[in-house]
Structure 1
Amino acid sequence: MSDTTTKAPTLDIHGKPYKRMAMLVLILVATFAGMLMQTSLGTALPSLMKDFDINLSTAQEATTWFLLANGIMVPVSAYLTTKFSTKWLYVVAYALLFIGMFTASVAPTSNWTVFLAGRIIQAIAVGITMPLMQVVMVNIFPAEERGKAMGLGGLVIGLAPAIGPTLSGWILEKNHVILGLTISNSWRTIFILPLVVITIAFVLSPFVLKDVIPNRPMKLDFLSLVESILGFGLFLWGFTNVATEGWGNVPKVIVPIVVGILIIVLFVLRQTRMSDPFLDVKVFLNKQFTVTTAAIALSMMAMMGVEMMLPLYLQNVRGLSALNSGIALLPGALMMGIVSPLAGAAYDKVGAKRLARVGFTILAIGTLPFMFLSETTSTIFITTMYALRMFGIAMVMMPLTASAMSALPPQEAAQGTASNNTARQVASAVVVALLSSVTQNIITNNTPAKSLQTSNPLAYAEKMIHASLDGFHVSFFLGFLFAVIGLLISGLLRKGKHIEGKDETATADVKGGK
């Protein structure tokens, strides 16, 4: 940061000075705790299946319903960010996150619905805090420092989902003693630890957080809200049903997806005709913003696809414990945390196109071997390839996020962030549901007859492993395909770095998109 930036007092929208770094640290830590909820149940699925007496598809709902509710909430974030105080919006979000984590942690094993309700409340809160964090960064950092800021954001958006399975594995392995306190090896503890962080953040928020995003009176268009919730909700719900119902189920899969798409189309048309839209979809008229957002969505699909399937492969096929499967993914999570800030700083110098091309290439190379995993593939090899994948994703995600935000003027940051994150969350929800359904269907279709389990248990076990491998191979192939498509799309990005008001071509595009 420049000396001028360091010495000059940092003022909120009311003209009062505040501690920018203290606010940033609190937001990053609290959002990290919330984002852990996205993937932390990956290694806990076998435990959930056992305790709640449910199958894989039902257990996977713990993630798909989280992503569904999160995807519904993100479009609403633009309205909330514009209408309400930054500080008190965070206070409410942290309160919701506390309630959601507490509900899930105490849910009775006889009632899966209560557990899902807790997950949905968590998702609503994260749907506010994640996009709000990005808008805050756009407003408190000057454009020339935005890459570094988004790099720090990468520690949350990228590292939290990456480290979630490892943390869960460590928790589930055995009881731990920390500072004299015994930490139980239960899936419930997965919620307790972040709950402590959120409680501290909730207490500190009124004192540390300030109003840094300009607010204005904005009337809530109720019809737009209903169309947004119904459209994205039905669309994502249809995909979440695929794993349990299959693609042939018309009322629970096809109808919700088709009706959801139609309502989303009506929602978009309504927004284009409004003088003060609920979600300003006109930001997509900016070519660089649109291309960058598409690339980010593909990187999320490539990451989440393997992120959710690999722990299941390691436990169900390789027979690793929850801890060991989490440890196998730890170097990848650390790689994400190390490279994200570096990639953000690199964006400030070379722009997004070069980094995205390199990142998607590395991601594709790192994903390719997963299509050929066997029951004897070396765990070290898997760990190495997974770390390589996460290196590629870190090279892609934060530079592209910074590029997307820099393609828009600051006054459009809230709308741009909401649109960008809606695409990201919809893509994540769709890919988790899609790969869960593909894997489950292939395993089911290739499962040997039950009679073989009695007559020849060894042959049954071998055929069952191969059935599982067939399902995982197809999932990993789709992850590879997303990386390749992302590489092709990255070629449409402009060279260099784009700062609104300084890049003439980018500015012209923005003006043309208004």
Structure 2
Amino acid sequence: MALRAVDIHGKKYNRSLFVCVILIATFAGMLMGTSLGTALPTLMTDFHIDLATAQEATTWFLMANGIMIPVSAYLSTKFPTKWLYIAAFALLLIGQYISYSAPTTNWHLFLIGRVIQAIAVGITMPLMQVVIVYIFPAEKRGAAMGLGGLVIGMAPAIGPTLSGWILNSDHSFFGFTLTNSWRSIFLLPMFVIGIDFILSFFILHDVIPNENIKLDWRSLVQSTLGFGLFLLGLTNVANSHYDGWFDLPHVVLPGVVGIFFIITFIWHQLEMNKPFLDVRVFKIKQFSITTLLTSLSMMVLMGIEMMIPTYLQEVRGLSPLSSGLTLLPGALIMGLMSPISGAIYDRAGAKRLARVGFMILTMATLPFLFIGLTTPTDFITVFYSLRMFGIAMVMMPLTASAMSALPQDKAADGTAANNTSRQIASAIIVSLLSSVTQNIANTQGPAASLKTANIFEYSRKTLDAMLSGFHVSFAITLLLALLGLIVASFLHAGKVINQSDDLLENKEGI
């Protein structure tokens, strides 16, 4: 593969440097999605807020990111690739700085920064995948998507470890000190994004063909209200101030209204000659199945990813650093295996990898149903690492297969649809498991009077109730892994090569 390539203007550029810049920047942006998980106790103390409020740092990020992803198809078609990236990097820097500098008396300013960060990541993440489709030939795309797995999979996995390490003590780099404060969690990504922002002017090029399409405001409003309200309802489920899944004004109403706008959005897209987001891509069987499997794999990933750090800190009493180090080997394994699985996909296709990967996920999730108060951390590390190995075998090959099932000019629409589905799946599983765990802990927990009568018995029963909640959450995750194993059998055998536009048109009558 030659290092030199040509952009849409006929100018030569270095493809390896191009990919390196966008991978590093997107990785730094996606770290923000999970890196604050281990910092929640610190945020609660500094901002004088409860756990439900502190969790908004993650839930609002997921919500804003989910709203933005459907817009990415329009943006990547309308605006030059280089300047879209530059704008997104600048937006990410602004958002990170707002959260970093927010006074502890203004939690809402902190959240505004988080929303701006999520908007930027909602542009860079799907744009990265579209760029890979355009700059790599089909026979090399699996390996390139494997490198993308370092971003989409490893960044959320390594986030808790990195933040735990930062919160453990002060660290110095080139004479610059990172203090053990939640603010320092933003500094390292800001430094990386700042460098990439400067390099973007010299290394990035316009590689996606542009069209002077008009913004369909009706579609934008329907998309924003639909996905925004639906995800808002989901994120409110875990809020301790509300009544769970049946809270009418905060969960049910926004969820139902959101679904209504999503349906009207889809209907409107099907009526348009040039849709805002071409949902017809779901008429291609291979794309639909791989998108479903990618969403399931994300749910299986997040199902353990969000629960284990909480178990390690709240039940086992580990420090943020210790809980992060327990999960670090799994993150490293995923980072190592993602490009390898992408290369295997180029030779064998996605079906075999998906079946083996979901089988590993199923077997490695089962032991988590039996963890207790004295389960060795090495036990958790081993089976968590096996799960991440399975995720690496599934995630990027499925993404590459989904993109290869589409005509190249539908790459932006396919990427937006694929990522939106995955983001909604992540929000659903985080809300579901948080709600289930908290509800079981509340209903099976001891009476408040026991706390004064027998503090030791009260503590034991509280931990037992929390464990019961975790066990049910892990059981749900196991069922999702089994479902993925079943659905994987419907995948196309072998590798999928880009289909022609005629295929998409023929499928439209189905």
Choose from 189, 196, 204 the match for 1:201.
196
Displacement after TM superposition at 1:429 (Å): 1.4
2:306 is aligned to 308
Choose from 474, 486, 494 the match for 2:472.
474
What are the within-5 Å matches in structure 2 for residues 232-251 of structure 1? Answer: 232-244=227-239, 245=242, 246-251=244-249
2:170 is aligned to 175
1:131 is aligned to 126
SS of the aligned residue for 2:182 comes to: coil
CA distance in 1, matches of 2:165, 2:470: 24
1:513 is aligned to 507
Displacement after TM superposition at 1:27 (Å): 0.6
Displacement after TM superposition at 1:488 (Å): 1.0
Displacement after TM superposition at 1:254 (Å): 0.6
Which whole-Å deviations, capped at 9, do the CAs of 1:375-420 have from their partners, x for residues lacking one?
Answer: 1001000000100000000000000000000000111100100100
Choose from 359, 371, 374 the match for 1:373.
371
Letter in 1 for 2:172: V
SS of the aligned residue for 1:10 comes to: strand
Query: Is the contact between residue 69 and residue 123 of structure 1 (CA under 8 Å) also seen in structure 2?
Result: yes
2:166 is the alignment partner of 1:189: no
Which whole-Å deviations, capped at 9, do the CAs of 1:172-231 have from their partners, x for residues lacking one?
Answer: 111112223221011111111101111111111111100000001111110000000000
CA distance in 2, matches of 1:180, 1:110: 30
SS of the aligned residue for 1:158 comes to: helix
Query: Is the contact between residue 286 and residue 512 of structure 1 (CA under 8 Å) also seen in structure 2?
Result: no
Displacement after TM superposition at 1:54 (Å): 2.5
CA distance in 2, matches of 1:192, 1:445: 41
Letter in 2 for 1:235: F
CA distance in 2, matches of 1:450, 1:105: 38
1:74 is aligned to 69
CA distance in 2, matches of 1:292, 1:322: 35
Displacement after TM superposition at 1:248 (Å): 2.2
SS of the aligned residue for 1:265 comes to: helix
Letter in 2 for 1:224: S
SS of the aligned residue for 1:57 comes to: helix
* Aligned pairs, number: 505
CA distance in 1, matches of 2:490, 2:474: 26
2:160 is the alignment partner of 1:165: yes
| Closer/same/farther in 2, CA of residues 49 and 472 from structure 1, 3 Å limit | farther
Displacement after TM superposition at 1:441 (Å): 1.6
SS of the aligned residue for 2:238 comes to: helix
Query: Is the contact between residue 407 and residue 510 of structure 1 (CA under 8 Å) also seen in structure 2?
Result: no
CA distance in 2, matches of 1:340, 1:308: 21
CA distance in 1, matches of 2:440, 2:99: 31
Query: Is the contact between residue 356 and residue 490 of structure 1 (CA under 8 Å) also seen in structure 2?
Result: yes
Choose from 404, 408, 411 the match for 1:406.
404
SS of the aligned residue for 1:359 comes to: helix
2:252 is aligned to 254
Displacement after TM superposition at 1:447 (Å): 2.6
Letter in 2 for 1:399: P
CA distance in 1, matches of 2:165, 2:100: 17
CA distance in 2, matches of 1:471, 1:189: 32
What are the within-5 Å matches in structure 2 for residues 436-455 of structure 1? Answer: 436-455=434-453
2:144 is the alignment partner of 1:149: yes
CA distance in 1, matches of 2:122, 2:423: 9
1:435 is aligned to 433
SS of the aligned residue for 2:177 comes to: strand
CA distance in 2, matches of 1:301, 1:166: 20
Choose from 203, 214, 222 the match for 1:219.
214
My pick for the range that moved more, 24-33 or 472-481, is 472-481
- TM-score, structure 2 length as denominator? 0.97
My pick for the range that moved more, 287-296 or 196-205, is 196-205
CA distance in 2, matches of 1:293, 1:223: 26
CA distance in 2, matches of 1:198, 1:88: 15
1:267 is aligned to 265
CA distance in 2, matches of 1:116, 1:507: 43
Displacement after TM superposition at 1:511 (Å): 4.1
CA distance in 1, matches of 2:444, 2:205: 57
Query: Is the contact between residue 149 and residue 344 of structure 1 (CA under 8 Å) also seen in structure 2?
Result: yes
Letter in 1 for 2:190: L
Displacement after TM superposition at 1:475 (Å): 1.4
2:331 is the alignment partner of 1:333: yes
Displacement after TM superposition at 1:446 (Å): 2.4
- TM-score, structure 1 length as denominator? 0.96
CA distance in 2, matches of 1:25, 1:82: 22
2:101 is the alignment partner of 1:103: no
Displacement after TM superposition at 1:242 (Å): 0.8
1:42 is aligned to 37
CA distance in 2, matches of 1:312, 1:215: 45
Letter in 2 for 1:281: V
Choose from 15, 18, 33 the match for 1:20.
15
1:118 is aligned to 113
Displacement after TM superposition at 1:509 (Å): 4.9
